[in-house]
Amino acid sequence: MFIPIILAGGVGSRLWPISREKYPKQFHSFGKSPYTMLQQTLQRLQGLEQQAPLLICNEEHRFIAAEQLRQIQINDGKIILEPVGRNTAPAIALAAFKAIENGEDPILLVLAADHVIRDTTAFQQAVEKAAVLANDDHLVTFGIVPTHAETGYGYIQRGDATTEQGYKVARFVEKPDATTAQQYLDSGDFYWNSGMFMFKASRYLEELKRFQPQIYQACELALGEQTPDLDFIRIDKQEFEACPDDSIDYAVMEKTEHAVVVPLDAGWSDVGGFAALWDVSEQDDNGNAFRGDVKAVDTKNTLVSSEDKLVATVGVEDLVIINTKDAVLVAHKDKSQQVKAIVNELKAEQRPEVTFHREVYRPWGKYDSIDNGERFQVKRITVKPGAKLSVQMHHHRAEHWIVVSGTAKVLIGDTEQYVTENESVYIPITQVHALENPGKVNLELIEVQSGSYLGEDDIVRFEDKYGRA
């Protein structure tokens, strides 16, 4: 029996424009599966003896994470919210302190939320081997059996065999150059560093306290002031901000004498860029991987993903073409890792496309900003059954709501009314108002905003069922 610890705090900037700060890659689905990477991470544990999962994620992503757990019928999981990112060693420490707070000492299986593993059976067999070693007080890491001389991963060199389950870790090494990577591959003694781990909660904390006492103390204090909030666990922001930023590799695994590695040959990828995404995607006879409305003539070894319109290619090869509602990326597959340079430029220019998608998810549903201009903005809003937007007002904008489908329960001032298809209401500037879906199907409406300032920060909330400020 173990607790899955899911690290879901990354941004995935090399997969822009699909992955963005407010909706990163772990919450997206890729390929043919309708399930997101986070959901698939949890689903591949089905059949193993486990307790309820514990997620570590960014404050900004809390409602997305909670909704995606609910969609796959995980209703007993908990989510620890990081007020700031401090890398993997502190994140895992928070999970370990949480796991032992009732006097128990469970085994933790630490997984990233954004990995692809094709062979679930081989993965589960490796987990079962690792659990035996973890129960004997080893700190286990999973080493990916390399398929080629990869320069984009760190490596783990194995030492002597411990038992039939694994090997002692001889050393961790940084990302090598091409020649060194080939030497590692030829030797047969090196694995790719997967960033997945298994150990008792107490053993990890013991080694962390020994090698990085500042991280240990900061996380202990931060979780000591935890505050439950719906599905979430909030920690002390000030204490956690004082925590050093360090990975589990540097903080513990490279220093401990108790590290062992279990080989894993299960079709693993961390999907660190579009070349890797093409590699793990289902391809046609010409090596093409298409998603969405795509037409291709004389096209080879190309990845195309289209969100909302037809994309046609003629006479191209080895390209990455990504179309979203507000951005298009065209890159050579061999240069796709350089997408991060575009992201850095967008950040420097403070462009919203680096942070937000045009379609934005909220705990009550989502909205799509379909048009905007000087002093106006148009959104298509979807409200889930039983969901309600906060009781709020705006200082700088008025709003018209036109119901497209479903029934809306609308509060304007002291007046409450029902608005159905093809009906509309008007909310003047500074008028307190609220919107609710009392029905059993999604409520769809068009919102037309007009005013001198239309930013999302022009919202004064008086009451909110989701606990937002």
Share of the chain above pLDDT 90, in %: 83
Rg, C-alpha atoms of the chain: 24
DSSP string, 286-344: TS-EEESSEEEES-BS-EEEESSS-EEEES-BSEEEEE-SS-EEEEEGGGGGGHHHHHH
Q: Residue 31 pLDDT more than 80?
A: no
pTM, two decimals, is 0.89
* Residues 195 and 112 sit within 8 Å (Cβ to Cβ): yes
* Residues 209 and 177 sit within 8 Å (Cβ to Cβ): no
* Residues 95 and 54 sit within 8 Å (Cβ to Cβ): yes
Tell me the per-residue pLDDT of 358-412, one tens digit each, with 9 for 90 and over: 888 888 999 999 999 999 999 999 999 999 999 999 999 999 999 999 999 999 9
Tell me the per-residue pLDDT of 208-246, one tens digit each, with 9 for 90 and over: 999 999 999 999 999 988 888 777 999 999 999 999 999
Per-residue model confidence (pLDDT) at position 469 = 66
Q: Residue 297 pLDDT more than 70?
A: yes
Residue 397: count other Cβ atoms within 10 Å of its Cβ: 21
* Residues 79 and 58 sit within 8 Å (Cβ to Cβ): no
CATH of domain 359-463: 2.60.120.10
Per-residue model confidence (pLDDT) at position 274 = 94
Indicate the average pLDDT of the chain: 93
Amino acid at 138: H
Task: Summarize the confidence of residues 435-441 as an average pLDDT.
Answer: 96
* Residues 314 and 297 sit within 8 Å (Cβ to Cβ): yes
**CB-neighbour burial class of residue 167 (10 A; exposed 0-12, middle 13-18, buried 19+):** buried
Q: Residue 451 pLDDT more than 70?
A: yes
* Paired tokens of 403: 């119901």
Greatest mean pLDDT range, 23-32, 56-65, 71-80, 120-129 = 120-129
Would you kindly state where each structural domain of the chain is located, as residue ranges? 2-269, 285-343, 359-463
Q: How far apart are CA 201 and CA 251, in angstroms?
A: 15
Give how far Cα 182 sits from Cα of 155, 160, 195, 298, Å.
Answer: 12, 22, 21, 34
Tell me the per-residue pLDDT of 313-350, one tens digit each, with 9 for 90 and over: 999 999 999 999 999 999 999 998 899 999 999 999 99
What's the distance, Cα to Cα, between the start and end of the chain in Å? Answer: 38
CATH topology classification for 2-269: Spore Coat Polysaccharide Biosynthesis Protein SpsA; Chain A (3.90.550)
Per-residue model confidence (pLDDT) at position 421 = 95
Per-residue model confidence (pLDDT) at position 143 = 95
Task: Summarize the confidence of residues 123-133 as an average pLDDT.
Answer: 96
What strands, in cross-sheet order, belong to the sheet with 397-405? 359-362, 365-373, 376-383, 443-451, 397-405, 424-427
The dihedral formed by the CA atoms of 248, 8, 245 and 348, expressed in degrees to the nearest 10:
140
Per-residue model confidence (pLDDT) at position 293 = 95
2-269 and 359-463: same fold? no
